[in-house]
């Protein structure tokens, strides 16, 4: 279990101004206003711009993938460093627009909406840490998010949509965030197990890539966190027994996630108190898994001397 004892003060949202959904303008008639507009349609073409660290989210609809992604981006930008569209990426303008929407809406307590089915939302970014140690370098990050309905399609030997399959078939540096929610994890054990088997079928050995299991919506437990590592371990063992065996055998990382206090007003959910603790834990796991050094690395002996002046 990943653990971080640093306490972040939650941000409060008491402004009752009219809320608007997170989206980018699009004139396509077959796009719903409730969906993200995809940056990359994921056609059957060779993947370009592979010089990055790809972050793939796996989880069913309403599991919290979009919320985790937006909170990670917000944490990386507001507390850990500078996040900007990758120079030369074909979708840099779209990425900048999507980032602006993410940041504007999360700062108002607005949750992201559903991702478009049968397409991959690809965001190519460069992250430059505030930490000035040479052991903590800038890195390229490419976030890939897909609709939960597409992940359910792989059951019973069925194939992924080609827009997703091309990324799993490509030879790219892959990091996987598996998301299942507190209230439905018991229903998704076999699906996660099948997904891990699918990786093996594609020649991807889960033991040699970075994978983390995230139990989202932990606030539904009535708690803001876990009292001890054993609490999370017991939950996973009980609700996800097959996944738990894989997690232990492959030594995957695991943690819980909560975005803070959620207020439900009829059909609208809003973040009343934003807490980035969970986003910080997952972001730090991702950075250290890629670089081998923690994001808050204190520096070499000589760097610490120089930093003190």
Lowest mean pLDDT among 8-22, 89-103, 247-261: 8-22
Q: For the chain, give every domain's residue range.
A: 34-307
pLDDT > 70 in the chain, percent: 78
What CA–CA distance (Å, rounded) separates 306 from 302? 6
Q: CB–CB of 275/234 below 8 Å?
A: no
The CATH class given to the 34-307 domain equals: alpha beta
pLDDT in tens, 181-204: 999 999 999 999 999 998 998 899
Q: Which of the two residues, 8 and 197, has the higher pLDDT score? A: 197
pLDDT in tens, 43-64: 445 677 788 999 999 998 888 8
Q: Is the pLDDT of residue 285 over 90?
A: yes
| Strand 139-145 with 174-181, pairing | unpaired
Q: Is the pLDDT of residue 80 over 90?
A: yes
Segment 219-241 mean pLDDT: 91
pLDDT (0 to 100) of residue 46: 66
pLDDT (0 to 100) of residue 13: 39
Chain centroid to CA 77: 14
Residue 27, Cβ neighbours under 10 Å: how many?
5
pLDDT (0 to 100) of residue 34: 45
């Amino acid at each position: 279990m990943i653990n971080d004892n640093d306490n972040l003060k939650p941000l409060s949202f008491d402004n009752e101004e009219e809320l608007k959904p997170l989206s980018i303008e699009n004139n396509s008639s077959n796009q719903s206003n409730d969906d993200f507009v995809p940056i990359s349609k994921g056609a059957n073409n060779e993947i370009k711009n592979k010089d990055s660290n790809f972050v793939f989210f796996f989880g069913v609809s309403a599991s919290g993938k979009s919320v985790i992604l937006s909170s990670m981006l917000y944490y990386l930008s507001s507390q850990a460093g500078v996040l900007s569209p990758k120079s030369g990426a074909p979708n840099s303008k779209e990425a900048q627009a999507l980032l602006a929407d993410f940041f504007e809406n999360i700062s108002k307590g607005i949750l992201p909406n559903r991702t478009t089915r049968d397409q991959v939302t690809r965001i190519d970014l460069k992250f430059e840490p505030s930490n000035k140690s040479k052991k903590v370098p800038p890195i390229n990050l490419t976030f890939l998010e897909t609709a939960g309905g597409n992940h359910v399609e792989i059951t019973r030997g069925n194939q992924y949509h080609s827009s997703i399959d091309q990324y799993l078939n490509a030879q790219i540096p892959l990091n996987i965030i598996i998301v299942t929610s507190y209230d439905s994890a018991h229903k998704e054990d076999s699906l996660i197990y099948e997904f891990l088997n699918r990786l093996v079928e594609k020649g991807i050995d889960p033991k040699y890539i970075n994978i983390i299991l995230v139990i989202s919506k932990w606030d539904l437990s009535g708690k803001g966190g876990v009292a001890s590592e054993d609490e999370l371990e017991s939950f996973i063992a009980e609700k996800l027994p097959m996944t738990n065996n894989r997690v232990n055998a492959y030594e995957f990382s695991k943690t819980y996630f909560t975005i803070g206090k959620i207020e439900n007003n009829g059909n609208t959910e809003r973040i009343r108190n934003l807490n980035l603790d969970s986003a910080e834990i997952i972001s730090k796991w991702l950075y250290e898994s890629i670089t081998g050094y923690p994001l808050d690395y204190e520096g070499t002996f000589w760097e610490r001397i120089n930093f003190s002046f």
